[in-house]
Amino acid sequence: MFKKILIANRGEIACRVILTARKMGIKTVAVYSDADKDARHVELADEAVNIGPAPSRDSYLQAEKIIAACKQTGAQAVHPGYGFLSENAGFAKRVEEEGIVFIGPKHASIAAMGDKIESKKLAGAAGVNCIPGVNDAIESAEKAVEIAKGIGYPVMIKASAGGGGKGLRVAFNDKEALEGFTSCRNEARSSFGDDRVFIEKFVEEPRHIEIQLMGDSFGNVIYLNERECSIQRRHQKVIEEAPSPFISEATRQAMGEQAVLLAKAVNYQSAGTVEFVVGKDQSFYFLEMNTRLQVEHPVTECITGLDLVELMIRVAAGEKLPLAQKDVQRNGWAMECRINAEDPFRNFLPSTGRLVRFQPPRQTMFAAGEPSPRPSPAVGRGGHQPPLPSGEGGSEGGFYGVRVDTGVQDGGEIPMYYDSMIAKLIVHGKDRLDAIAKMREALNGFVIRGISSNIPFQAALLAHPKFVAGDFNTGFIAENYGQGFKAEDVPHDDPDFLVALAAYVNRRMLGRAAGISGQLPGHGLTVGEAFVVLGLGATGQNSSQAALVTHYHAESGSSTVRTGANSYEICSDWHLGGARIRGTVNGQAFTAQVERGVGKNPLAIRIAHNGTRLDALVLSPRAAELHALMPYKAPPDMSRYVLSPMPGLLVDVAVQVGQKVQAGERVAVIEAMKMENVLFAIADGVVGKVLATKGESLTVDQPIVEFV
């Protein structure tokens, strides 16, 4: 077994690998860019080596620097994680040539499967069902349109070296095929250095289901069940689960056996995933093979009880797989939500900056394959003991529970140079409904402040009746949230509870204020029972609801709140300033979030629960009367400006002063978190001023162009 390994990655996957290596008694080396010098993976590793400036092309994609770091530290093996160089056959080959073990498949297998054009030909030859399409690189946009017409719309335009939703477009007509080919080619060239693009038939109402494989150097390959990954936004997975609620046992076995055939055809050794598109009649077709660990691997670990990272390390060290196909288990139901740094209410634009607060829900799952819930005695470079890969405590026998995989911590920075995922929230339940319930409660307790996150969107998806029923495909998000995601898309099953909780929180705060010593006799704060909860709307229009808070007990933290036609007995040990409030309402446990001083009003209270947010002022009846008389100040008219909707790098300004611009015309391009975002004019106009220059780092709402 290796004594020391280097992790050629960053973020949560680097932390994930470090924790398993520590469990195995293996020392770890982290590599980091200038932007990641204070990152969690650097702190957890035994050693760390700086490999260059913040952009990934100057650091995490620098193969020679990573190999030099191995030699410098004496690392015997490299784990590439996912993304960056993980599926780069040239990197794997260079590592092997230097006498370092690549913890992944052999470079020949990566080359065979990493090229999406060649992999389809190999899959067909191995007896795997393949989708109709043209598997040769296409030279021009015009040729792409001609081919697309021949196959029949809709078609999928895909970069040969693509992955993670990059370099992929779906076209429903000639115009989209023309534009999609150009966009794919440009995105692939900048992301992967390979601009080859191919086209295939797009299966409508498809499901995206993948088979997890594990192979060793003795010719053994097993499949570890499937993962359902159909909940996607713009071809990037949002929620994954295992098993799939859709396929039959016969389909599962057929897909697994075909995946094994393909792996054996390329002498596959390590963890890998074969992705299939599955039709509503359970017909399935090969999409691609990912020759690396997948982001969503924890759901497979939950239902099988295996640690996939440990198996990868053991196989790379020359060990035989410790189990055969008949030994693979499938227990319970697991789900994973990707927690991304993006604002769902602003069309999911990236959100970068300081994590003012980062408090994940308490982890209650044992580590995959761990006999005990306690971590090993090894301590990271930061001097503290980190949690296990899948949790730090035990509940329900250590089998079911909550797990958080993350690469960030309280006070950390979310840089704009890398992808938007900041954590993965994983739950394991007895069945699918139990897993959904656990996930909703865990999301309620996931506190993120300082940046926006997609948690409200995840909560909405989990509450959607069709998702709960398992009735969805890869078009689910586009169909249900095609006009974007709005606050009203998350209806609360009991909105009066949010009002009652706001009144309860306000009463607790006033109770503390009334109890402060040193108040002048006769002038101390007295608190009444009647309140008015004013909901603060985006347009300045306020909703108003009366609430009566009685039976207030400071010691027990209990009160009865009557609002609307409902009465709520709320009991909690919440303390002022706490971001999470846990307790019981009418005897039922709940978790919600509280924030004071939101927006521009220091007295406003924000309550968040089950993805729904209430921003409110809680006032006495007389104060509410006076508040209604206050004038409303309308925000300034910014319709003449094109504003940056997010922090990012201005990579192009497509207009000049004096130019006539029509609505829908391209104005500027901003890049953040590895994605290009094109800004278009929303109305006809003439450019009066260009207020930002190409190459400039922009802040949110910074003006770029002014129209006259």
- Residues ≥6 apart with Cβ < 8 Å to 197: 137, 138, 144, 157, 158, 159, 160, 167, 181, 184, 185, 188
Which pairing describes strands 4-7 and 77-79: parallel, antiparallel, or unpaired? parallel
Distances (CA, A) of 371 to 23, 301, 397: 11, 14, 11
E-only strand ranges, 259-346 = 270-278, 284-290, 333-340, 342-343
Which pairing describes strands 401-406 and 421-429: parallel, antiparallel, or unpaired? antiparallel
270, 103 in Cβ contact below 8 A? yes
H helix and E strand count, the chain: 17, 39
Active site residue 288: yes
Ramachandran quadrant class, 447 (left: phi over 0; alpha: psi -120 to 50; beta: rest)? beta
Is 193 buried (19+), middle (13-18) or exposed (0-12) by CB count in 10 A? exposed
1, containing H or E segment: none
CA distance linking residue 572 with residue 580, whole number of Å: 11
Q: Which of 288, 301, 336, 342 is catalytic?
A: 288
646, 346 in Cβ contact below 8 A? yes
- Give which of 186, 192, 162, 155 is closest to 61, Cα–Cα: 192
* Bridge partner residues of 687 (DSSP): 707
Q: How far is CA 135 from the centre of its chain?
A: 31
Residue 644's identity, in one-letter code, is: S
- Give which of 455, 463, 470 is closest to 491, Cα–Cα: 463
Ramachandran quadrant class, 308 (left: phi over 0; alpha: psi -120 to 50; beta: rest)? alpha
SS3 119: helix
Full strand arrangement of the beta sheet holding 101-102: 47-50, 27-32, 4-7, 77-79, 101-102
Encoded tokens for 315: 């196989």
CA distance linking residue 582 with residue 666, whole number of Å: 48
- Give which of 408, 411, 390 is closest to 399, Cα–Cα: 390
Residue with tokens 């590599």: 31
Question: Other C-beta atoms within 10 Å of 530: how many?
Answer: 14
- Give which of 23, 25, 26, 24 is closest to 7, Cα–Cα: 26
Which residues are annotated as catalytic? 288
